[in-house]
């Protein structure tokens, strides 16, 4: 995992770990219960959004890696194709010329 994603992953883990204990630690009166429910709902939405953002970023990184690999493969193919043609022509010329 790159350093870029270690910090958001750590924060997401901290939120997921702290949210239940925060909700259970509060006193259970009517107002407090509604506040805890709202906090849990907000934590759930934040977690969902963080997962979406992470997924989008992973997709973008995978696409960049795929494109770079594709470009490198094409470059290597073209270089080897040109080298092979040159070697074949050189062999053909060498076969035609007596020593």
User: How confident is the model over 77-95, as pLDDT tens digits?
Assistant: 888 877 777 766 766 676 6
Residue 96 lies in a domain: no
Let me know if residue 34 belongs to a domain: yes
Of 14, 45, 13, 33, residue with least CA distance to 25: 33
Tell me, yes or no, if the pTM score tops 0.75.
Answer: no
Q: Could you tell me which of 13, 20, 22, 24 has the C-alpha nearest to residue 47?
A: 13
57 found inside a domain:
no
Give ∠ CA 65-70-73 in degrees, rounded to 5: 125
- Whole-angstrom Cα distance, residue 16 to residue 18? 6
The answer on pLDDT for 29 being more than 60 is no
Looking at the 3D structure of the chain, how many domains does it have?
1
Does a structural domain hold residue 44? yes
CB 35 within 8 A of CB 59: no
Domain holding 6, by residue range, is 1-52
In a domain, 15, yes or no: yes
Provide the terminal-to-terminal Cα distance of the chain, rounded to the nearest Å: 61
């Amino acid at each position: 995992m790159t350093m870029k994603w270690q910090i958001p992953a750590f924060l997401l883990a901290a939120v997921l770990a702290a949210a239940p204990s925060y909700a259970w630690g509060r006193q259970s009166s009517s107002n407090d219960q509604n506040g805890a429910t709202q906090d849990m709902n907000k934590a759930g939405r934040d977690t969902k959004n963080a997962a979406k953002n992470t997924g989008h970023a992973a997709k973008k990184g995978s696409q960049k890696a795929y494109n770079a690999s594709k470009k490198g493969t094409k470059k290597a193919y073209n270089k080897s194709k040109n080298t092979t043609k040159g070697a074949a022509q050189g062999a053909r010329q060498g076969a035609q010329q007596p020593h």
